[in-house]
Amino acid sequence: MNPTDIPPPLEVEPARRIFGLETEFGLHLDAGPGRPVTPEEVAGHLFHSVVQWGRSSNVFLPNASRLYIDVGAHPEYATAECDTLTDLIASDKAGERIVHALIAGGEERLRAAGVDGTIHLYKNNTDSAGNSYGCHENYLVRRRADFKAFASALLPFLVTRQIVTGAGCITRTPSGAHYSFSPRADHMWEGMSSATTRSRPMINTRDEPHANAELYRRMHVIVGDSTMAEPTTLLKMGATDLVLRLMEARVPLPELTLAREMQAIRDVAHDLTGRATVELADGRRLTAVDVQQEYIDLVRGHLGGIVEPTEEVARILDLWQRGVDAVRTQDFTPVETELDWAIKHRLVTRYRSRLGCPLDDPRLARLELAFHDVSPQRGLFYRLQDQGLVRRIVSDADIERAVSTPPQSTRARLRGAFVERALAAGRDFTVDWVHLKISGSSGTTVLLKDPFRNEDARVDGLLEMLEHA
Amino acid sequence: MAQLNAQGQPYEDDAPEPDAPVAAAQASTDAIDDLLAEIDGSLQVNAEQFVRSFVQKGGE
């Protein structure tokens, strides 16, 4: 093949999908009394080493993921394109290690600037003042003319899945505190729109596929909580993928359109008993347990047909059912080592009984932050996981590999190799999700429109040029 | 009657099954309590001030 030829799009099995996860981390400087330090200054010090090698605080890494400082001085990590859920989980967890590795350098620079403090990074979704930041899920879907109708059909599922995939949180109100399924639910303002910060929708409809736009669109789900436990991430992404697979195969979904989505998502979030009902457009009232059970039954009905009954699908369905049953029976023990909200609920309950305090005690809020701390040593989630109190999906070796190595079965492989070689050669380069370019070269920009393609002669040509640079 | 081995203990197979998950759940609750006891001191230090000082702008 002539290295300038753009290869045709690959024929891809309908079940094969590109996944991505974007995580905004909470950034917290714990310092004694002294001069005030803005989050921007802390973020600047944290990213100093990144800017040193990348000449920017917005970079692509050799593992093909993207690392940057987002709106609001949040460190953000976006995984590379993954076409398996295990690759995705490993890449997502690698992101925690990558941002954590910046802390020591950041603290050192702060000390040099006269601030003695400890930097914490939290994989959570709210700060103490009630500001929210997100965890965005990306599912590549086949383009269709009726995308808005297609996407809105997913809303009843997204509103109710928090009873299994929520991160759990203590909600403080003027009349007291209670434990909720999802910290994110209260920050959703509408079902769908193309905005994110001005008006937070559950699905962002900005048409930005980062791929061949004639073939693909991106389902950009921004209603989810950041999740710590690997099985929760598996269920969050896996159950959503299964529902999307049926929708893409044009399977008629059960009629579950909600009358008022914003009311429904809040009512579900704040009712740990699972007995609160949501109003459907047809006037019926169902619980979130009822709604989720409809989706589980729907997927089960297509096992062996549209849905290939793999071990992973069985695992997702099993956890999904056990999660729904836990809420229905109010016995959380069957999922208390797998689902974030249940793991955290158990922790909060035990600590509260130890302290004999009300739920709005600041020490419990402190416990919540410790749970979401990404530090492998300090983070409470990792202390639990190390003791075998949280189940695993991938191994530490998988995660460590994903810190430096891109997923091998997608476009990420090409980008990762390019970034790694260009850095090694000391050449300036430009890279984004779909472009690769060596600065000052003959000017050829390689456009990678097919996220499923992991081999490309044009990229081999670029790597060759870097080799002989 | 349970079959006894040389040490006079019932064979593992004869152990009543339902006890196992209960024992495991108790063991893990104990492990959580031990962990909480271990970190209790550090969580209590200026908890309120610590939590309040974590304020960011909204993201996305």
Query: Under an 8 A CB cutoff, do A369 and B50 touch?
Result: yes
pLDDT at A9 over 80: yes
pLDDT at A10 over 60: yes
Average pLDDT of span A249-274: 96
Which residue segment(s) compose the domain that A461 sits in?
Answer: 410-467
Give the pLDDT of residue B56.
80
pLDDT at A141 over 90: yes
Does A415 map to a domain? yes
Does A243 map to a domain? no
Number of domains in chain A: 1
Most confident of A174-178, A419-423, B10-14: A419-423
Average pLDDT of span A321-350: 98
Does A244 map to a domain? no
Closest chain B C-alpha to A303 CA, distance in angstroms: 31
Torsion angle in degrees (nearest 10) through CA of A97, A98, A99, A100:
40
Give the pLDDT of residue B21.
63
Query: Under an 8 A CB cutoff, do B60 and A380 touch?
Result: no
* Close Cβ partners of A407 (under 8 Å, ≥ 6 residues apart): A64, A80, A81, A82, A83, A84, A87, A91, A413
Query: Under an 8 A CB cutoff, do A74 and B56 touch?
Result: yes
Complex ipTM, two decimals? 0.91
Query: Rounded CA gap, A188 and A185, in Å?
Result: 6
Give the pLDDT of residue A468.
83
Query: Under an 8 A CB cutoff, do B59 and A346 touch?
Result: no
Q: Which two tokens stand for residue A413?
A: 């492989």
CA-nearest residue to B41 within chain A is A363
| Angle in degrees, 0-180, between the axes of helices A362-372 and B19-44, rounded to the nearest 10 | 110
Query: Under an 8 A CB cutoff, do A350 and B58 touch?
Result: no
The pLDDT-based confidence of B4 (bands split at 50, 70, 90) is very low
CA-nearest residue to B30 within chain A is A350
pLDDT (tens digit per residue) in A201-249: 999 998 999 999 999 999 999 999 999 999 999 999 999 999 999 999 9
Does A418 map to a domain? yes
Query: Under an 8 A CB cutoff, do B36 and A366 touch?
Result: no
Give the pLDDT of residue B12.
43
The pLDDT-based confidence of A190 (bands split at 50, 70, 90) is confident
pLDDT (tens digit per residue) in A23-37: 999 999 999 888 889
The DSSP secondary-structure symbol of A395 reads: -
Average pLDDT of span A83-89: 98
Where is average pLDDT lowest: A142-151, A325-334, A338-347? A142-151
Percent of chain A at pLDDT > 70 equals 98
User: Which residues of chain B neighbour A196 with C-beta distances below 8 Å?
Assistant: 60
Secondary structure (3-state) at A215: coil
Give the pLDDT of residue A41.
96
pLDDT at A281 over 70: yes
| Angle in degrees, 0-180, between the axes of helices A85-100 and A230-248, rounded to the nearest 10 | 140
- Does the annotation mark A271 as catalytic? no
Does A148 map to a domain? no
pLDDT at A469 over 70: no
Q: Would you say the pTM of this structure is higher than 0.90?
A: yes
The minimal CB distance from A133 to the residues B25, B54, B59 is found for: B59
The pLDDT-based confidence of A194 (bands split at 50, 70, 90) is confident
The minimal CB distance from A362 to the residues B33, B36, B51 is found for: B51
Q: Which two tokens stand for residue A123?
A: 């994989």
Average pLDDT of span A355-367: 97
Give the pLDDT of residue A57.
95
Which residues 1-60 of chain B have a CB within 8 Å of chain A? Answer: 25, 28-29, 31-33, 35-37, 39-40, 43-44, 47-48, 50-60
The pLDDT-based confidence of A71 (bands split at 50, 70, 90) is confident
Give the pLDDT of residue A197.
63
pLDDT (tens digit per residue) in A164-186: 999 999 999 988 999 999 999 99
pLDDT at B15 over 70: no
The pLDDT-based confidence of A38 (bands split at 50, 70, 90) is very high
Give the pLDDT of residue B16.
46
Average pLDDT of span A295-305: 98
- Candidates A5, A30, A70, A432; catalytic one: A70
Asked if A73 and B57 touch (Cβ cutoff 8 Å), the reply is yes
Does A430 map to a domain? yes
* Close Cβ partners of A224 (under 8 Å, ≥ 6 residues apart): A135, A136, A137, A165, A184, A236
Average pLDDT of chain A is 95
Does A462 map to a domain? yes
